[in-house]
Amino acid sequence: MLRSNVRRWWRTEFDYGWLPAFLDRRSLSGPIRAAIGIWCAIFGICAVLVQFSDSGPRTPTTRAFVVVLTLSAFYAAVRWPTMPWPTERKSLWFVCWTELGLAVAVLFGTDERLAALPGCGLFVVIGMYVTLLHSPRVIVAHLAWALTICIAVGVHVALGPNPDVPVLAGQLLVLMGLIVLVPLGLHVGVTFLKEDARDSYRDPLTDLLNRRGVEDEAQRLLGIPSTDGLATVVMVIDLDSFKRLNDANGHAGGDLALRAVARRLADVVPAHGLVGRLGGDEFTVVLLCRPTDIDATTERIHNAVYCSDDRLPITASTGAWILTRSTLDSPAEYSTFEGVLAPADLAMYEAKKAGGNRLVRCWER
């Protein structure tokens, strides 16, 4: 059981962009990036203090390396609060830099062997960053590296003159416990937070995105610059005569029909698109599409609602609103989900008034 859980944890699909997006939605990105910048400044200040210590680095090579680390730390301290979140690749390079820099600082930055040991405590800070932003594999790599450096410093102290081995062993245990347990405890909390956040974005009946989930995800999609001539397509799909079906077959029958429609919509919508349930018997689809594919794509999505093999087959009135330019270059009302949903909703009502079981498209050029 434990082995299978560990294997599943190790293979968990990781979404680097989830936390930055989560923080952006709550206006917390700025404070968090500022906190990271402050810690970079603390790293730099510690490096400066070591330079002026009587037990600081002796050789020109070591001094030069510590100077480079100091300057890069202050550079990162300025960049973090003033720049957007880095890409995953850049973030990994940042982690590698901090891991290597701290290792060199504690191993070669001071002649006083015992003074190097507390410096290993800064691996806890790096571990917190890695835990929040990176996958389980990166977390394990960080822990292995940090513990290796910590043990190496401990052995270096133990081989020195007059070591107090019992005290040293106790210090190492406390230090390694913090290095391991703080990130792991944080990882458990973040995992539960992600699960709760994802559940809050899901419709429990159909397992599609709910209105809140579609709105937040669509906001990111609408903010993508259209560099490939892609059109924004927003669809509202309202099931025909659903109340009659519900009254005739009970809520269980209505739920069965909703789940069947949701499953087919999820199958037919492209992987990059969004499909969700707005509430009741109304669904929505948001996607980017090449102008030449719009008719075929919207028709395919509309036709996915009806299936003659269903126990309770049902049709839909569908409105599709198409914007053939980037939302970033369009009027302000089209920069929000509510703004692009409204014209699709009007098109759906046109389909409903025309007798239902049809698709109406409208274009904003």
Q: Is the pLDDT of residue 330 over 60?
A: no
Percent residues over pLDDT 90 in the chain = 40
Q: Which domains, and CATH codes, for the chain?
A: 2-200 (no CATH), 211-364 (3.30.70.270)
Give this prediction's pTM: 0.68
Residue 1 DSSP symbol = -
Listed range (57-71, 117-131, 240-254, 255-269) with the worst mean pLDDT: 57-71
Cα separation, 38 vs 73, in Å, equals 10
Q: What is the dihedral of CA 141, 143, 145, 148, to 10 degrees?
A: -140
Distances (CA, A) of 129 to 16, 29, 71, 147, 194: 12, 14, 21, 17, 16
- Residue 268: what pLDDT? 93
Higher pLDDT, 160 or 226: 160
- Residue 235: what pLDDT? 94
Average pLDDT, the chain: 85
**pLDDT tens profile 174-210:** 999 999 999 988 888 888 877 777 777 888 899 899 9
Strand 274-279 to 358-364 pairing: unpaired
- Residue 226: what pLDDT? 54
Cα separation, 169 vs 181, in Å, equals 18
**pLDDT tens profile 9-66:** 677 777 788 788 778 877 888 999 999 999 999 999 988 887 777 776 777 887 888 8
Cα separation, 203 vs 214, in Å, equals 11
Confidence of residue 108 (pLDDT cuts 50, 70, 90): confident
Confidence of residue 334 (pLDDT cuts 50, 70, 90): low
